[in-house]
Amino acid sequence: MMKVLKRSALAGAALAATSLTGLAQEQGSNHGGCFVTLSPTEATRGIRHWRPPSSCVDWYKRIANQRPTQANSEGAPWVRVVVRKVDLPASRITVSHGAIPQIRMPAMTIQNIPVADAASLASLHEGDELDIQCEHRGGVVRVVNFRMKW
């Protein structure tokens, strides 16, 4: 009985190693793909799903179209930013942006900006380029809309 258990344990370990190697090779060969997070719960757990390159842009566009726009952001300028850090538990992001002439703001990095739609943060990662709209209410500036740049 002991020999059978040892053999099956060794066979199981070899099978697991083979499966992991195959998965790593499969993902390594798909350089054009992307990883996406499907829900805020998955984002906090670090769960990300691989998608082939053709479906990545389609998926992000579908999510962007489903995101409601805030009614009170009318007239606020869209600002091109680069995401530097995403803090999911606190619903905040750190971004860098160029000069914004409409509001006389120089280029800078802004840390820990609150985001109104915390569920949308799950789709953001460091280095992502996007446009954001902010509102200034009660002395606090927060992101109310964003759209990915393709």
> In Å, what is the CA distance from 45 to each residue of 18, 85, 112, 128?
26, 17, 21, 20
**How far is Cα 33 from Cα 53, in angstroms, rounded to an integer?**
4
Q: Which amino acid is at 30?
A: N
Q: Which domain holds residue 7?
A: 1-30
For residues 11 and 106, the model is more confident at 106
| Tally of CB atoms within 10 A around 71 | 7
What pLDDT score does 18 carry? 41
How much is the average pLDDT of 124-144? 87
Domain of residue 130, CATH code: 2.40.50.320
Return the SS3 of 29.
helix
Q: Are residues 12 and 23 in the same domain?
A: yes
Q: Are residues 131 and 105 in the same domain?
A: yes
What pLDDT score does 39 carry? 61
What pLDDT digit, counting tens, does each position of 65-112 carry? 665 554 455 677 888 999 999 999 999 999 999 888 877 888 999 899
